[in-house]
Structure 1
Amino acid sequence: MQANVVVVGSLNMDLVARAERLPRPGETLAGDSFATVPGGKGANQAVAAARLGASVAMVGCVGSDAYGEQLRQALLVERIDCQAVSTAQGASSGLAMIVVDANSQNAIVIIPGGNGLLTPASVQAADALLQGSEVVIAQLEVPSATVGHTLQRARELGKTVILNPAPAAQPLPSEWYPHLDYLIPNESEAQALTGIAVFSLDTARLAAERLLELGARRVMITLGGEGVLYVDAQGSEHFAAPRVQPVDTTAAGDTFVGAFAAGLASGKSPREAILFGQIAAALSVTRAGAQPSIPTLADVQGFIAA
């Protein structure tokens, strides 16, 4: 079946060690537990879209190691089309080495591995997938040239183009903005893109309006527990977040993006897709982990029915 959502992005294996505190420089510290958890913003968003009703294809690159096969299998279990997930011989897969302390503070080292080897040619080779899709999603954990090519090609094809600019440390290339139907940063990313400090709804609105001026068609700034601010040329709307008891916020933003894309692909209006994405993200923070925390369509429907 042809995928209606295509995700071009990263696949990481998260290596998560837990300890009472973070180690000091030069210190060897005894830890409490260790787990390997499939992650990466691209893969997380693909899993979210798939669990929430979309037919999904992933365009990415893993290394020729055991983690690469595990990352691919984690997507195949979700019935995600992995024909465009290539293997870079002699390279490691993307890794996130994470230490988490008793207060849930963490220190993270990311090794791009195969993600850094995803090229514009890789996306060109998957052009048939883009042509058959309705929604194309990109993030910033693969090379900038690859992201730029993806956005431009998806726009040429008339697809709905979503960019989650994460992790953003500086403004985006100006030529990207006209390709974007939906730009979805969080508060810190919106600040990095605009130089406007985002600490309230009013400042978030200022940042979003600046991003519209730069050429994005619609901007959604995710505000964590404060919900989502949606801004387009007609005005703005604040969507309050569903109230839940949070356990772990890992992958909440990715869950929102994937669920929002799945909602659009299923024919929901932008407003309906935002509300759908918010419920999915709220459910994800009630569970631990990245991909293990992402809810299914039945979970979201059960929450709505309740």
Structure 2
Amino acid sequence: MKKIVVLGSINIDTILNITRLPLPGETMAMHDRAIAGGGKGANQAIAAVRAGAETSFISKIGQDHAADFMLNTFREDNLDIDHVTMDEKAGTGKAYILLDDKGQNSILIYGGANQTITVDDIHNAEATIKGADCVISEFETPIPATVEMFKIAKANNVVTILNPAPAKTNIPEELLKLTDIIAPNETEAEAITGVKVVDEDSMELAASKMHALGVKTVLITVGSKGSFYSIESDKSGFVNAFKVNAVDTTAAGDTFIGYLAANLEHDLSNLESAMIIASKASSLTVQTQGAQNSIPYKKQLNL
């Protein structure tokens, strides 16, 4: 069983169902509203544990009812939350998701307790990080904490996966050099490289620029089309997405990351097959509204 450590965010998602995104200054009525667990880190951790990996989560919550709701969710999945701690001042993170009739979304984030994670929190989880096969982080928590986790991981031969989301244009060079696999979507890849990702040629160009920044393996997810991979000085390829009717794309990328990590061999020799499994899991996620409730269990993949 793979051992995964995820550093990342916890959010309570408020999902607002609308016909289309509003225009500037426009007032619109909603079809419906729902509350669900979310946060990129929490989604990725739940995806990894549902994929069959022994998964530990490093995060922070507020001292509120939202925290109780999230902790109960984690316990139901047997997620290791020994390193999920409480901040007495900041509230639990929140996300407000505008979901249109085509299943596309726009998301607004309140960081809250997620933004109070420190390097000390990483040091407190050092033994867990050292014992992992793979660690994952993203950008909904402070970058210094991610750098410190990746330093510990690299010193102990642990694979590092960076999901550079939300998109940032100036990622610290130190972090990129500590990253084994970077996994942006097309928007995030453009923010990093300046290359507009529209086809395989532009994916190759974007990947080459990320290789030049120090990352050996690049994965670019492109929604319903699939995912591209490039291993520096070795090979590249494309994995087609499974064709389904999408209801809500929230957490699809997080499901992909969690399932990828749970199925990836340490030497990345099975990268393409792990991407296929991750793509299958994501195709199930998008068929249900919500984030964590839509992430499938391994048995649902029928692989």
- Normalising TM by the smaller chain, what interval? over 0.9
Q: Letter of the 1:235 partner, please give it.
A: K
Stretch deviating more after TM superposition (229-238 or 254-263): 229-238
Q: Deviations over 1:102-126 (max 9, x none)?
A: 4556553311001000111111111
Q: Mark the CA change 1:280 to 1:22 in structure 2 (over 3 Å): closer, same or farther.
A: closer
Q: Mark the CA change 1:298 to 1:23 in structure 2 (over 3 Å): closer, same or farther.
A: same
User: Are the aligned partners of 2:74 and 2:81 in contact in 1 as well (CA < 8 Å)?
Assistant: yes
Q: Letter of the 1:288 partner, please give it.
A: Q
Q: Tell me, in whole angstroms, the C-alpha distance in 2 between the residues paired with 1:31 and 1:229.
A: 36
Q: Letter of the 1:250 partner, please give it.
A: T
Q: Deviations over 1:246-303 (max 9, x none)?
A: 2221111100000000002699822221111111111211222111111111011x2x
Q: Tell me, in whole angstroms, the C-alpha distance in 2 between the residues paired with 1:81 and 1:104.
A: 32
Stretch deviating more after TM superposition (259-268 or 17-26): 17-26
- Please give the secondary structure, in 2, of the residue aligned with 1:253: helix
1:7-156 equivalence runs, <5 A: 7-20=6-19, 30-102=29-101, 104=103, 106-156=105-155
Q: Deviations over 1:71-111 (max 9, x none)?
A: 12211111000010001012210001234344556553311
Q: 5+ residue gaps in structure 2?
A: none
Q: Mark the CA change 1:131 to 1:170 in structure 2 (over 3 Å): closer, same or farther.
A: same
1:217-296 equivalence runs, <5 A: 217-232=216-231, 233-264=233-264, 269-296=270-297
Matching residue of 1:190: 189
Would you say 1:299 and 2:300 are equivalent positions? yes
TM-score (norm 2): 0.92
Q: Mark the CA change 1:3 to 1:102 in structure 2 (over 3 Å): closer, same or farther.
A: closer
Matching residue of 1:168: 167
- Please give the secondary structure, in 2, of the residue aligned with 1:216: coil
Q: Mark the CA change 1:248 to 1:108 in structure 2 (over 3 Å): closer, same or farther.
A: closer
Q: Letter of the 1:136 partner, please give it.
A: V
User: Are the aligned partners of 1:162 and 1:180 in contact in 2 as well (CA < 8 Å)?
Assistant: yes
Matching residue of 1:206: 205
Q: Mark the CA change 1:228 to 1:264 in structure 2 (over 3 Å): closer, same or farther.
A: same
Q: Letter of the 1:43 partner, please give it.
A: A
Stretch deviating more after TM superposition (67-76 or 181-190): 67-76
- Please give the secondary structure, in 1, of the residue aligned with 2:90: coil
Structural RMSD (CA): 2.2
Q: Tell me, in whole angstroms, the C-alpha distance in 1 between the residues paired with 2:55 and 2:48.
A: 7
* TM superposition shift of 1:18: 2.7
Aligned residue pairs: how many?
A: 301
Q: Letter of the 1:179 partner, please give it.
A: L
Q: Mark the CA change 1:238 to 1:27 in structure 2 (over 3 Å): closer, same or farther.
A: closer
Q: 5+ residue gaps in structure 1?
A: none
Q: Tell me, in whole angstroms, the C-alpha distance in 1 between the residues paired with 2:73 and 2:161.
A: 23
User: Are the aligned partners of 2:104 and 2:249 in contact in 1 as well (CA < 8 Å)?
Assistant: no
Aligned-residue sequence identity (percent) comes to 37
Q: Deviations over 1:113-167 (max 9, x none)?
A: 0100011111111111101111100101001111221222211121011011111
TM-score (norm 1): 0.92
Q: Mark the CA change 1:199 to 1:56 in structure 2 (over 3 Å): closer, same or farther.
A: same
Matching residue of 1:215: 214
Q: Tell me, in whole angstroms, the C-alpha distance in 2 between the residues paired with 1:32 and 1:106.
A: 15
User: Are the aligned partners of 1:54 and 1:265 in contact in 2 as well (CA < 8 Å)?
Assistant: no
Q: Tell me, in whole angstroms, the C-alpha distance in 2 between the residues paired with 1:26 and 1:245.
A: 31
Q: Tell me, in whole angstroms, the C-alpha distance in 2 between the residues paired with 1:53 and 1:191.
A: 33
* TM superposition shift of 1:214: 1.2
Q: Letter of the 1:66 partner, please give it.
A: H
Q: Mark the CA change 1:89 to 1:7 in structure 2 (over 3 Å): closer, same or farther.
A: same
Q: Tell me, in whole angstroms, the C-alpha distance in 2 between the residues paired with 1:170 and 1:16.
A: 28
Q: Letter of the 2:161 partner, please give it.
A: I
Q: Tell me, in whole angstroms, the C-alpha distance in 2 between the residues paired with 1:181 and 1:266.
A: 11
